[in-house]
Amino acid sequence: MSTSAETASTHGDSRQSFDDREVRRRCRQALGVTTLGLMLVLVNATSLNVALPAMSASFGVSAATADWFLVAFMLSNTAFILVFGRISDLLGRRSIYLVGLACFTVISLLCAVAPNAPVFIVLRVLQGIAAATTVTNTTPILADVFPPERLVQGMGLNLTAAAVANTIGPALGGLMITFVDWRALFLVNVPFGVAAVVLGARLLPRRPRSRGKRERFDVGGAVLSTFGLAAVLYGINRIGVWGPDDPRVLGAMVFGALLLVLFVLVERRTAAPLLDLQLIRRPGRAQAYGAAFFNSFCRAGVVVLVGLHQQMVEQRSAAVAGIVVLPLALLMMVFSPICGRLAMRWSARSLSSLGALLVLIGLVGLAVQMAAAHLPVGMLLCWLGFVGAGIGLFTAPNTASIMAGVSSNQRAVANGVRSMLYNSAQAAGTVVTLLIVTTWLGTSGITSYAATAGASAVRLGFVVAMATLAASALVALLLSLLRGGSWRTQPATPAASARAE
């Protein structure tokens, strides 16, 4: 005969089991919806890289004008991330995410029927702004739903999908252009966008608004941050077109830097700032932000550098060069979900530091191998595997550590800072890598393969560029180690696992 204590224990176990199943269900739904939205944006962004020649011919414009099809999206997307981070925290992440995704879908349809290049460029600006809502809110939505002890696992799966999107985007773009038309790249967004919006409206949980006094939106901070980021990134992007000594490049970067300095000064004196600087100053999170920047710098640079090295020094085709860098993406996809399981035992400090160390080893290995007259494909794939595995281990736990301890009304801004740093580092890593290589090539340029292939000066230029990326990876490793905290995961407590409704 069971006692009342045994009966209560049985009911308690059943209730706990039900709650656990409910949490898992909500996690799966949020992960599925946000992954679909993120992949939609990333596939569209990366597939356009191979479409520029066809689009240039279709609109009858020069390559310099066609370059704005990419630049317009990149500038507006990065510049508005912080703005939508704050708006989402004030008005609700779910609603801003869904509205932005719906706008992205509608603008995709308009891009497909754009009559000329100027209209298309304006639409790409608007599409970048709409995409900023998805980039900003994906991670905070997951942080709202996933318990802290499972967040790394959720982030790992989400980042795996992002890696898949970045990998298949160019391939999809090539197929669409070859067998259909570049406009199909935007038309294909429509059904997937509609599905993402409908599923999001049905499955993403609603969170009650705060009953406290509604904070005012920091208009001054939004204007300064938007134009400051856009000017700096514009200057960085134009280095490859105008050259680093062009006064327009320096002018844009100085103007943007001054606006950002003014932004920081304004934020320190604003009662309800766009960016609470305490988010960045907090020990541990500041190091995680810095590590994310330098890791992203390496990630962008190594893909560009290896692709150029394969064509200019090893004299392989562009198709082969594209296949050679695949192990990096594949290892990222493999290790991102593995990282989620390891996070049950090892802390973000341990996993991110291990990942940063693997990236450093891979880049040092590539630099040493590039100094030789010939880089064996087997060794190249091995070192790229180190880099890919390292990025896969680094990213999810580092992102989770940034979000850890952030109050619910600041999560989108906290992630917005991370996304802004990521995009800026990607642009800077690509430009710096190309700048170093072209500096060593002198007047021959990166398209004069036959004249430069095999020259010792050219190999040295690639070694210097790869060593620069390795130095960036070393900084990321040091910052990851300096964040402090334990090496093992601390047992979760009921208080720590509770989710605010």
Q: What is the pLDDT of residues 164-205, one digit of tens each?
A: 777 677 767 777 777 778 888 888 889 989 998 999 888 887
Phi-psi map region of 485: left, alpha, beta (phi>0 left; psi -120 to 50 alpha): left
Q: What is the largest CA-CA distance in the chain?
A: 92
Residue 279: what pLDDT?
78
Residue 418: what pLDDT?
84
- Which pLDDT band holds residue 50 (cuts at 50, 70, 90)? low
pTM of the model: 0.79
Residue 322 has pLDDT above 70, yes or no: no
**Structure tokens that stand for 2 in this block:** 């069971």
Chain center to CA of 211: 33
C-alpha dist (Å) from residue 300 to 78, 289, 427, 463, 491: 16, 17, 8, 16, 36
Give the span between the Cα atoms of 294 and 389, in whole angstroms: 16
Residue 501: what pLDDT?
36
> What are 97-126's pLDDT values in tens digits?
899 999 999 999 999 998 898 899 999 999
> What are 273-306's pLDDT values in tens digits?
888 878 787 878 889 999 999 998 888 888 878 8
> What are 223-277's pLDDT values in tens digits?
888 898 889 888 887 887 777 788 888 898 899 999 989 988 888 888 778 888 7
Q: Are 458 and 466 in contact (CB under 8 A)?
A: no
Give the span between the Cα atoms of 186 and 106, in whole angstroms: 10
Q: Tell me the three state secondary structure of residue 206.
A: coil
Q: Which CATH number applies to 276-489?
A: 1.20.1250.20
- Which pLDDT band holds residue 469 (cuts at 50, 70, 90)? very high
Helix (H) or strand (E) holding 65: helix 63-66
Q: Tell me the three state secondary structure of residue 488.
A: strand
Length of the chain: 501
Strands (DSSP E) found in 340-468: none
DSSP per position, 159-183? HHHHHHHHHHHHHHHHHHHHHS-TT
Q: Output the CA angle 426-473-170, nearest 5 degrees.
A: 35
Same fold, 12-203 and 276-489: yes
Give the CATH number of domain 12-203; options: 1.10.287.70, 1.20.1250.20, 1.20.20.10, 1.10.1740.10: 1.20.1250.20
Mean pLDDT of 5-9: 49
455-464 CB burial, b ≥16 within 10 A, e <16: eeebbebbbe
Residue 10: what pLDDT?
47
Q: Tell me the three state secondary structure of residue 485.
A: coil
The domain spans of the chain are 12-203, 218-273, 276-489
